[in-house]
Chains A and B, each alone.
Chain A
Amino acid sequence: MPELFVGKLWDRLIKRAVEHRVINTQVLFEDIVKPAGILFRALGGDAGLALKISQSTHHQGERSWLRRVARSEEKIELAWRDDEALYLPSSINLFPDASLNRELYFWLAALAVEIRDGSWFIENQQATARLLNKFPGLNARYQRLLHATLLCRPDIGSLSTDNAAQEEILRQALTMPGYKSLLPQAQYPWHPVHLWLHPSPPLSANTPSAPPARLKEFEQNENSKLVAQDQRKHKAERQDIQERKDGFMMFFRAESILSWAEYIKVNRPTDDDENEDAQRAADQMDVITVTRDGKSTASRIRFDLDLPPEESDDMPLEEGILLPEWHYKKNQLLTDHCRVQSMVAINATPSALPAHLTVTAQRIRRQFETLVSVRAWQKKQDEGAEIDMDAYVQHKVERQRGAFVANNGLFKTLYAQERNLSCLLLADISQSTDAYVNNNMRIIDVIRDSLFLFSEALFVTADQFGLYAFSSLRRDQVRFHVIKSFSEKYNDQVRGRINAIKPGYYTRMGAAIRHAGSLLSKQVSHQRILLLLTDGKPNDLDWYEGRYGIEDTRMALNEVRAQGIRPFCVTIDEKAGSYLPYLFGAGGFIVIHDPSQLPHKLLSLYTKIIP
Chain B
Amino acid sequence: MTKSVASISEVTLPRVASEIPFYKPHGSEVELFEHAFSQQLPLLIKGPTGCGKTRFVTHMAARLKRPLYTVSCHDDLTATDLVGRHLINDSGTYWNDGPLTRAVREGGICYLDEVVEARKDTTVVLHPLTDDRRILPLERTGEILQAPPQFMLVVSYNPGYQNFLKGMKPSTRQRFVSLRFGFPQPELEQDVVIAETGIDPETAKLLVKLVSALRSLKAHDLEEVASTRLVVYAASLIKNGFAPVAACRAALVEALTDDEEIINALMEVVNACFGE
Q: Which residues of A contact B (CB under 8 A)?
A: 34-39, 41-44, 47, 106, 110, 134-138, 140-141, 381, 383-387, 392, 407, 410, 413-414, 418, 421, 526-527, 564, 566, 581-582, 585-587, 610-611
Given contacts A42-B269, A137-B270, A385-B78, 18 further A-B contacts (CB under 8 A): A34-B265, A37-B265, A38-B221, A38-B262, A38-B266, A41-B217, A47-B216, A110-B272, A135-B209, A384-B2, A385-B79, A387-B93, A392-B93, A421-B165, A527-B165, A566-B164, A585-B223, A586-B219
Contact between B274 and A137 (Cβ–Cβ < 8 Å)? yes
Interface string of B238-262 (1 = CB under 8 A from A): 0000000000000000000000011
**Distance in angstroms between the alpha carbons of A568 and B2 in the assembled complex:** 32
Contact between B213 and A43 (Cβ–Cβ < 8 Å)? yes
Known contacts A383-B2, A566-B165, A47 near B220 by CB under 8 Å: yes
Contact between B223 and A586 (Cβ–Cβ < 8 Å)? yes
Contact between B165 and A581 (Cβ–Cβ < 8 Å)? no
B275 to chain A, nearest CB (A): 4
B273 contact from A44, A136, A386, Cβ within 8 A: A136
Contact between A35 and B222 (Cβ–Cβ < 8 Å)? no
Contact between A41 and B220 (Cβ–Cβ < 8 Å)? yes
Q: Which residue of A lies closest to B93 (CB)?
A: A387
Known contacts A392-B88, A581-B221, A586-B223, A137 near B265 by CB under 8 Å: no
A414 to chain B, nearest CB (A): 7
Contact between A383 and B262 (Cβ–Cβ < 8 Å)? no
B110 to chain A, nearest CB (A): 19
A242 to chain B, nearest CB (A): 44
Contacts of A43 in B (CB 8 A): 213, 269, 272
**Distance in angstroms between the alpha carbons of A482 and B4 in the assembled complex:** 50
Contacts of B107 in A (CB 8 A): none
Contact between B275 and A42 (Cβ–Cβ < 8 Å)? no
17 CB < 8 A contacts A-B = A34-B262, A35-B265, A42-B269, A44-B213, A137-B270, A137-B273, A138-B272, A138-B275, A383-B3, A385-B81, A414-B78, A526-B165, A581-B219, A582-B220, A587-B223, A610-B165, A611-B165
Contacts of A134 in B (CB 8 A): 209
Q: Does B125 contact A (CB under 8 A)?
A: no
Contact between B164 and A137 (Cβ–Cβ < 8 Å)? no
- What's the interface size class on B, roughly? 35 or more
Contact between B272 and A135 (Cβ–Cβ < 8 Å)? yes
**Distance in angstroms between the alpha carbons of A413 and B222 in the assembled complex:** 38
Contact between A136 and B206 (Cβ–Cβ < 8 Å)? yes
B146 to chain A, nearest CB (A): 24
**Distance in angstroms between the alpha carbons of A318 and B119 in the assembled complex:** 43
Interface string of B74-112 (1 = CB under 8 A from A): 000011110001101000010000000000000000000
In this complex, the member of A385, A526, A566, A581 whose beta carbon has the largest number of chain B beta carbons within 10 angstroms is A385
Contact between B261 and A35 (Cβ–Cβ < 8 Å)? yes
Contact between A41 and B216 (Cβ–Cβ < 8 Å)? yes
Contacts of A110 in B (CB 8 A): 272
Contact between A39 and B80 (Cβ–Cβ < 8 Å)? no
Q: Does B167 contact A (CB under 8 A)?
A: yes
B220 contact from A135, A387, A581, A610, Cβ within 8 A: A581
Q: Which residue of A lies closest to B165 (CB)?
A: A527
B173 to chain A, nearest CB (A): 13
Contact between B220 and A586 (Cβ–Cβ < 8 Å)? yes
Contact between B268 and A140 (Cβ–Cβ < 8 Å)? no
Known contacts A38-B266, A414-B78, A137 near B220 by CB under 8 Å: no
Q: Does B264 contact A (CB under 8 A)?
A: yes
Closest 7 CB pairs of A and B: A35-B265, A137-B275, A38-B265, A385-B80, A135-B272, A42-B213, A527-B165
Contact between A585 and B220 (Cβ–Cβ < 8 Å)? yes
Contacts of A385 in B (CB 8 A): 2, 78-81, 85
**Distance in angstroms between the alpha carbons of A586 and B269 in the assembled complex:** 18
Q: Which residue of B lies closest to A565 (CB)?
A: B164
Contacts of B11 in A (CB 8 A): none
Q: Does B132 contact A (CB under 8 A)?
A: no
**Distance in angstroms between the alpha carbons of A385 and B275 in the assembled complex:** 55
**Distance in angstroms between the alpha carbons of A418 and B78 in the assembled complex:** 14
**Distance in angstroms between the alpha carbons of A229 and B44 in the assembled complex:** 54
Q: Which residues of B contact A (CB under 8 A)?
A: 1-4, 78-81, 85-86, 88, 93, 119-120, 162, 164-167, 206, 209, 213-214, 216-217, 219-223, 261-262, 264-266, 268-276
Contact between B271 and A137 (Cβ–Cβ < 8 Å)? yes
Contacts of A410 in B (CB 8 A): 88
**Distance in angstroms between the alpha carbons of A387 and B265 in the assembled complex:** 54
Contacts of B80 in A (CB 8 A): 385-386
Q: Which residue of B lies closest to A387 (CB)?
A: B86
**Distance in angstroms between the alpha carbons of A460 and B138 in the assembled complex:** 40
B159 to chain A, nearest CB (A): 12
Contact between B264 and A35 (Cβ–Cβ < 8 Å)? yes
Contacts of A47 in B (CB 8 A): 216, 220
A377 to chain B, nearest CB (A): 12
B157 to chain A, nearest CB (A): 15
Contacts of A610 in B (CB 8 A): 165
**Distance in angstroms between the alpha carbons of A72 and B213 in the assembled complex:** 41
Contact between B119 and A418 (Cβ–Cβ < 8 Å)? yes
Contacts of B270 in A (CB 8 A): 137
B186 to chain A, nearest CB (A): 12
**Distance in angstroms between the alpha carbons of A558 and B105 in the assembled complex:** 45
B152 to chain A, nearest CB (A): 26
Contact between A39 and B165 (Cβ–Cβ < 8 Å)? no
Contacts of B217 in A (CB 8 A): 38, 41-42
Contacts of B276 in A (CB 8 A): 137, 140
A201 to chain B, nearest CB (A): 24
**Distance in angstroms between the alpha carbons of A154 and B31 in the assembled complex:** 67
**Distance in angstroms between the alpha carbons of A136 and B274 in the assembled complex:** 7
Q: Which residue of B lies closest to A107 (CB)?
A: B272
Contacts of B81 in A (CB 8 A): 385
**Distance in angstroms between the alpha carbons of A416 and B252 in the assembled complex:** 37
Contacts of A421 in B (CB 8 A): 165
A428 to chain B, nearest CB (A): 22
Contacts of B264 in A (CB 8 A): 35
Contacts of B164 in A (CB 8 A): 566
Contact between B216 and A39 (Cβ–Cβ < 8 Å)? no
Contact between B272 and A137 (Cβ–Cβ < 8 Å)? yes
Contacts of B166 in A (CB 8 A): 611
Q: Which residue of B lies closest to A35 (CB)?
A: B265
Contacts of B223 in A (CB 8 A): 585-587
**Distance in angstroms between the alpha carbons of A36 and B262 in the assembled complex:** 10
Contacts of B88 in A (CB 8 A): 387, 392, 407, 410
Contact between B221 and A586 (Cβ–Cβ < 8 Å)? yes
A587 contact from B93, B119, B162, B265, Cβ within 8 A: B162
Q: Which residue of B lies closest to A140 (CB)?
A: B276
A379 to chain B, nearest CB (A): 14
**Distance in angstroms between the alpha carbons of A134 and B210 in the assembled complex:** 10
Q: Which residue of B lies closest to A529 (CB)?
A: B165
A38 contact from B79, B167, B268, Cβ within 8 A: B268
Contacts of B271 in A (CB 8 A): 137-138, 141
Q: Which residue of B lies closest to A577 (CB)?
A: B261
Known contacts A140-B276, A392-B88, A407-B88, A413 near B265 by CB under 8 Å: no
Contacts of A586 in B (CB 8 A): 219-223
Contact between A141 and B222 (Cβ–Cβ < 8 Å)? no
Contacts of B275 in A (CB 8 A): 137-138, 140-141
Contacts of B167 in A (CB 8 A): 564
**Distance in angstroms between the alpha carbons of A134 and B273 in the assembled complex:** 8
Contacts of B266 in A (CB 8 A): 38, 42
B170 to chain A, nearest CB (A): 11
B202 to chain A, nearest CB (A): 9
B123 to chain A, nearest CB (A): 14
A113 to chain B, nearest CB (A): 10
A396 to chain B, nearest CB (A): 8
Contacts of B85 in A (CB 8 A): 385-386
Q: Which residue of A lies closest to B214 (CB)?
A: A42
